[in-house]
Amino acid sequence: MKIGVIGFQGDVEEHLGILKRIGEESGNVEPLRVKNRDQLKDVSGIILPGGESTTIFKLIKEYGIYEDIISMVRNGTPLMGTCAGIILSAARTNDARVDGMGLLDIEIERNGYGRQAQSFIDDVEIKGIGNYMAVFIRAPIIKSVNHGEILAYHDGKPVMVRDGNVLGLTFHPELTDDTRIHEYFIGMIGGEGGVSTGTNGEGVIVK
């Protein structure tokens, strides 16, 4: 199966790298950098990466794939949004420069923890995955979840939410060597054979 990473800005290579590792182990995953409509129509799952939400929003609108992503996801294609990606996926972004896609019925606040100096790494407990070392970089804060299941909290705040075929995280799973969240997403697509090549605790390497 082809999994498309929206490839204009942000942690694109990091997501592609994790998907490549999983694909090499399972033989079932082909990562694809997506920058146009023809590439997008070939994928079975979509990743909106972390980065600068205003820049990614501007470029996916400019290249004509904003509405296509919405249409595909509403028709069943799984999507994972990480950091900036969850902002773009949200119904309410609290940012006049970014029209949320409304794929997750949440309200979110950009840079909710503060600027770069307030970035941090901490363990979170994820339902169905277990303990996970999460990297928060200029992370947004989920202010409310109006529909869907909260899979993880940090200090009482939701940090990972799933609603059907849409998965949103305020942290960066692509910045460690732990593949379990990407494997979870592959499971959402219907893929079998995602092999856990990452670690699950003390030994996680932050890139």
Structure tokens at 172: 């960066």
Contacts of 2 (CB under 8 A, 6+ apart): 30, 31, 32, 42, 43, 44
Report angle CA 52, 183, 133 to the nearest 5 degrees: 65
Catalytic residue status for 83: yes
- Kindly state which CATH superfamily the domain 2-189 is placed in: Class I glutamine amidotransferase (GATase) domain (3.40.50.880)
Q: What is the pLDDT of residues 14-69, one digit of tens each?
A: 999 999 999 999 888 999 999 999 999 999 999 999 999 999 999 999 999 999 99
Catalytic residue status for 67: no
Question: What pTM does this model have?
Answer: 0.89
Report angle CA 35, 72, 98 to the nearest 5 degrees: 65
- Provide the terminal-to-terminal Cα distance of the chain, rounded to the nearest Å: 26
Q: What is the pLDDT of residues 134-185, one digit of tens each?
A: 999 989 999 999 999 999 999 999 999 999 999 999 999 999 999 999 999 9
Q: From the candidates 83, 154, 182, 183, give the one annotated as an active-site residue.
A: 83
Q: From the candidates 14, 15, 154, 174, give the one annotated as an active-site residue.
A: 174
Structure tokens at 25: 């182990």
Helix or strand run (H / E) with residue 4:
strand 2-6
Q: Where are the domains of the chain?
A: 2-189
Q: From the candidates 15, 172, 182, 183, give the one annotated as an active-site residue.
A: 172
Catalytic residue status for 154: no
DSSP letter at 206? B
